[in-house]
Chains A and B, each alone.
Chain A
Amino acid sequence: METTLPLEDDFDFEDDVEDFDDTLNYSHKNLNDIDFNELLTTIKSPNRVINFELNSNKLLVVPNEIEKFQSLITLELSNNQLVQLPHEIGSLKNLKNLHLKNNALSDLSFPKEMLQLKQLELINLIGNRFKQFPHQLFHMINLKEIYLSSNQITMLSDQFQNFTKVEVLYLGANRIGNIPDSIGCMCSLIVLNLCDNRLRTLPRSISRLTQLKSLSLHNNQFCALPPDIIRLDLQELSLRNNPLVVRFVRDLTYDVPSLKELAARTIKLHKINYDDKSIPKVLVDYLNSAKSCLNPKCKGVYFESCHKSVKFVDFCGKFYLPLLQFLCSPACTSTSTCQMATTHSDDMNSKFRKVLLG
């Protein structure tokens, strides 16, 4: 069949660069698979297309011809009816942004070639039918934005340590009951959306997310939050529609302190002097690791053995947050709920001034 496509050799860069539009917009065109196949055969220079917008059509499959679009950086396939991705998707070596919102993708939809997309930076899978967090994503170490809201994910495996570049993680509206510890490894995380799930608590590692600015926890089953949340430099925190009641107070396990700990507590309480000339250095380090009991009336300290209970803490005149308190003994539990938080540095006050709670 004769075609009038220009041959690559005859292509004059200076002439053609004005005419060629590296963005193809075929969104909202009611395209079905047959139309789409036809369309692909008519596109000139597919290997120069950088953005391909195909959202809001009626596509059930992505044809193999997609592999001709080797320069593709952004592929927009949201709001279609895709059930699977083709093997050829792995050949798109420049693909950085893959939008697949509102399709019919599920746990078996990704081909093994998906693992070849190591340069992928954004993947949007909102509104699909995943029951598990797609394990292929754990291998994509260049990901910066992961959108998985509104699926049917029930649990997260503890493999988040690879996501050191991820800045945005949306997991809202799933059925997640627990957040794994490895979430603390996501050192670049700025936005974490966990709303509308079945969460009761967060792992303590959450305090390591030093870049975190926005935390959505609304519509869950939170009764209390780990106190480490104070250390975050949050600007947005949503807690509405969680139980958050004092009635929850069911004190967690209390390990009886060891003799070593009791001796150390006494030394600290009575301010007995010590140094590495009088006792072994390892004991000096141990004594220096003492943590203060958060009961303001108690001057005590604890080491490994502490008592956890829920207490409402008022942050610089703002809202009461129910926090898990680490106290030196059950006797230190305060019964009053109207109590100022202890030992605030000005630093912490200014951190919370910007927090918008809702």
Chain B
Amino acid sequence: MTEILNNTKATPVVIKKYFDNTSGLSTQPTSLNELIELLYQAFATNEVNIDYISTIMNNYKPTMGEWKPYIKFQSDRYTRNLVDAGNGKFNLIILCWAESQGSSIHNHADAHCFLKCLQGTLIETKYAWPTIDEEKPMHILQRTEVHEGEVAYINDSIEKPMHILQRTEVHEGEVAYINDSIGLHRIENPSHTETAVTLHLYIPPYDHCNIFDERTSRSNEAKVTFYSIGGRLITNE
């Protein structure tokens, strides 16, 4: 975002007009193609106007017919279906959640993540990043002798359960937003009788993230993959 010179409400609007490349763009995309077109224009320079992105994601009214090529449900896990790779600046993805499917707790590799619910209802549970207590004096767990030939083992594991910040429902048409500074989250389709579909926009795209164990706060790196690209299935391995 461009710099604001003083705090009055008028000035930011003026500055936006001169430097903001999204000021002339529509804020009401009425079709998938229009949404993608607006995204490309908004990303034409190296600056991103996150408020504009948020506006068009909220205002976009989807018609399910447009999304048909990307709607693919699997019985074993949710699917990620790439719609547009945004010239490397963003990824627009459709996620299909069959009954009771959910994700693990994950971060977003320093990217912005917008999530719009297209069908069904999702539950988003936000978690705080695991912390190490720095304020207490150190506590001795154990003191042992290590003799010739013996082996000792240690690792850095943190073993506290993760702390839930918030748990919200995301209904059809609603948009949720997260980035690493807010925290981590898990997304799940709580329904056993209805499927759910979400539209995700990641800025910039990422292909690795960390997944976290709720009980112990331990994390591991995970590769993030696609089930289909442009409507065509990907054979992974």
Q: Which among B100, B216, B220 is the interface contact of A320 at CB below 8 angstroms?
A: B216
Q: With contacts A168-B75, A358-B102 known, is A320 near B215, CB below 8 A? A: yes
Contact B193 A101, beta carbon cutoff 8 Å: yes
Question: Chain B residues near A240 (CB, 8 Å)?
Answer: 102, 186, 214
Question: Chain A residues near B186 (CB, 8 Å)?
Answer: 240, 358
Contact A236 B216, beta carbon cutoff 8 Å: no
Contact B220 A318, beta carbon cutoff 8 Å: yes
Given contacts A149-B193, A214-B77, could you give 8 more A-B pairs where the C-beta distance is less than 8 Å?
A126-B192, A149-B192, A150-B192, A150-B193, A172-B99, A193-B75, A318-B213, A339-B153
Question: Chain A residues near B215 (CB, 8 Å)?
Answer: 244, 319-320
- Bitwise, A238-255 to B at CB < 8 A (1) or not (0) is 101000100000000000
Q: Quick one: which of B100, B155, B220 has the most chain A CB within 10 A?
A: B100
Give Cα A351 to B41, complex, Å: 44
Q: Quick one: which of A168, A235, A236 has the most chain B CB within 10 A?
A: A236
Contact B76 A191, beta carbon cutoff 8 Å: yes
Contact A190 B76, beta carbon cutoff 8 Å: yes
Does A184 sit within 8 A of B, measured CB to CB? Answer: no
Question: Chain A residues near B214 (CB, 8 Å)?
Answer: 240, 358
Question: Chain A residues near B159 (CB, 8 Å)?
Answer: 337-338
Nearest chain B CB to A315 CB, angstrom units = 11
Does B63 sit within 8 A of A, measured CB to CB? Answer: no
Nearest chain A CB to B188 CB, angstrom units = 8
Q: Which among B75, B153, B213 is the interface contact of A357 at CB below 8 angstroms?
A: B213
Does A213 sit within 8 A of B, measured CB to CB? Answer: yes
Contact B76 A235, beta carbon cutoff 8 Å: yes
Contact B100 A195, beta carbon cutoff 8 Å: yes
Contact A149 B76, beta carbon cutoff 8 Å: no
Q: Which residue of B lies closest to A241 (CB)?
A: B214
Give Cα A149 to B194, complex, Å: 11
Question: Chain B residues near A337 (CB, 8 Å)?
Answer: 159
Q: Which residue of A lies closest to B77 (CB)?
A: A236
Nearest chain B CB to A317 CB, angstrom units = 7
Contact A126 B193, beta carbon cutoff 8 Å: yes
The total of Cβ contacts below 8 Å across the A-B interface reads: 80
Nearest chain B CB to A358 CB, angstrom units = 3
Nearest chain A CB to B153 CB, angstrom units = 6
Contact B99 A358, beta carbon cutoff 8 Å: no
Does A218 sit within 8 A of B, measured CB to CB? Answer: yes
Q: Please tell me the size bucket of the interface on B.
A: 20 to 34
Nearest chain A CB to B122 CB, angstrom units = 14
Contact B102 A170, beta carbon cutoff 8 Å: no
Nearest chain A CB to B163 CB, angstrom units = 15
Contact B104 A357, beta carbon cutoff 8 Å: yes
Contact B76 A218, beta carbon cutoff 8 Å: no
Does B218 sit within 8 A of A, measured CB to CB? Answer: yes
Does B105 sit within 8 A of A, measured CB to CB? Answer: yes
Contact B76 A126, beta carbon cutoff 8 Å: no
Question: Chain A residues near B157 (CB, 8 Å)?
Answer: 338
Does A173 sit within 8 A of B, measured CB to CB? Answer: yes
Q: Which residue of B lies closest to A169 (CB)?
A: B75
- Tell me the chain B residues, 88-117 only, with Cβ under 8 Å from chain A: 99-100, 102-105
Give Cα A213 to B76, complex, Å: 8
Nearest chain B CB to A316 CB, angstrom units = 10
- Tell me the chain A residues, 278-337 only, with Cβ under 8 Å from chain B: 317-320, 337
Nearest chain A CB to B96 CB, angstrom units = 15
21 of the cross-chain contacts (CB-CB < 8 Å) are A126-B193, A149-B99, A149-B100, A172-B99, A172-B100, A173-B192, A193-B75, A195-B100, A196-B100, A213-B76, A236-B77, A240-B186, A319-B218, A337-B159, A338-B157, A338-B159, A340-B153, A356-B104, A357-B213, A358-B103, A358-B211
Does B222 sit within 8 A of A, measured CB to CB? Answer: yes
Contact B75 A170, beta carbon cutoff 8 Å: yes
- Tell me the chain B residues, 176-223 only, with Cβ under 8 Å from chain A: 186, 192-193, 211, 213-216, 218, 220, 222
Question: Chain B residues near A195 (CB, 8 Å)?
Answer: 100
Give Cα A173 to B191, complex, Å: 9
Q: Which residue of B lies closest to A316 (CB)?
A: B220
Q: Which residue of A lies closest to B153 (CB)?
A: A340
Question: Chain B residues near A81 (CB, 8 Å)?
Answer: none
Give Cα A84 to B82, complex, Å: 42
